[in-house]
Structure 1
Amino acid sequence: MGETIHIAITRRVRRSHLADFERALADFASRSLAEQGMTGVHILHPAPDSGSTEYGILRSFQSARDLETFYHSTLYRDWVERIQPMVEGEPQIRHLSGLEAWFREGHHMPPRWKMAVLTFLAVWPVSIIVPALLRPFILSLHFILQAGLVSAGIVIVLTWVAMPLLVKLSHPWLHPASNKPTP
């Protein structure tokens, strides 16, 4: 089995169809979870009072084959036909990988050097703390198993604790343009 595939789709909705689109999207997202190889779907709504009509859909698939099968399915083709009168333009589709999935905000990515600095600030303490915490429990294991458990611990802490927290705390620095008040 290959690496999990993450796709970000952005759709701009006509103001007169916002409620209909949200209902259709919720129904489609729910039904799509039953498709083979689908491992998750997240819907990103525009921020209240932002004036935006842009919706995001983040999808995860077990493999590239599952992704291709889904986007050629009757369910997906029917969805596209159903929402056509509700949306403006074509969808923006991006494959997300690695660090990009943490740092992406709408269409805006911070400079790579900022992503590297923030990642370093997360990895450095986590790579010290996790081995120190695990050492008493894994000392009797073979060094390969020790390294594997430490690596798994670091990845878990980075993925679910350190990176989400650091990205949230550093949002003003990562995305200074999105923090400016709109006239």
Structure 2
Amino acid sequence: MSIHVAITRRVRAGCEADFQQALREFFQTSFGHRGVMGASLLVPPPGSDAREYGILRTFRNEEERDAFYDSPMFKEWDERAKTMTEGEPEYRRLDGLEAWFRSPGPPPPRWKMALLTWIAVWPVSMIVAALFAPLLGQLLPKFLFAGVVAGGIVIVLTWGAMPLLVRIARPWLHGAKTSTNIPEKR
């Protein structure tokens, strides 16, 4: 199971563009590290005086995450980043529903995550079941058919429905202080 980590850093005034450029360069280098599955940068909204930047990283597993953060490559980046940031970075592991609703700040209220998930699951479960029923409904025992349908639902939710719905509902989920997500290589 992949591991998602949210890192928040406060960038020094006047260093914002340098930090973003340096981080993008580090992103490209870091993708060569075994176990790194993706990274995204969340920046303050245009015109905002906020200097909080979010970095979202996904790793294959806990061992790869730990190896990445213990690597000389990361330690070198961390020292460079300290010259452009204030204070210590905050690290937070995202689990369960939080992984779909990841952001550098606190996650949305659980009721919002649950409601948005339900809005996605309901039609997806009906559509997936309807698509598989003519193909496999009579060939498989009911418990196996239910497993195939559940797998189809998970695939559609993970790579389609939830990323789309979370992007559309971001202002509602996080309120007015939502950062702009500039995705990097995944």
Distance 1:170 1:66, change over 3 A: closer
Question: What is the one-letter code of the residue matched to 2:116?
Answer: L
1:14-53 aligned within 5 A: 14-53=12-51
Change in CA separation of 1:172 and 1:35 when aligned onto 2, cut-off 3 Å: closer
Match of 1:150 in 2: 149
CA 1:141–1:59 in 2, change beyond 3 Å: closer, same or farther? Answer: farther
- Which stretch of structure 1 is more off in the superposition, 76-85 or 116-125? 116-125
Using structure 2 for the length normalisation, give the TM-score: 0.84
TM-score by length of 1: 0.85
**For residue 107 of structure 1, what is the aligned residue in structure 2?**
105
Cα distance between partner residues in 1 of 2:177 and 2:51: 16
* Amino acid in structure 2 at the alignment position of 1:34: G
Maintained 8 Å contact 2:41/2:55: yes
- State the Cα distance separating 1:173 from its structure 2 match: 3.7
Alignment of 1:100-139 (within 5 A): 100-139=98-137
Which runs of 5 or more structure 1 residues have no equivalent in the other structure? Answer: none
C-alpha RMSD of matched pairs (Å):
2.1
2:55 is aligned to 57
Q: Percent identity?
A: 53
Residues 1:160 and 2:167 aligned together: no
Q: Whole-Å Cα distance in 1 between the matches of residues 139 and 95 of structure 2?
A: 33
**In the TM superposition, what whole-angstrom CA distance separates every residue of 1:27-67 from its partner, at most 9, and x where no partner exists?**
11110001111111222222221222222111111111111
| Residues paired across the two proteins, number | 177
Moved segments of 4+, more than 4 Å = none
More divergent stretch after superposition (42-51 vs 74-83): 42-51
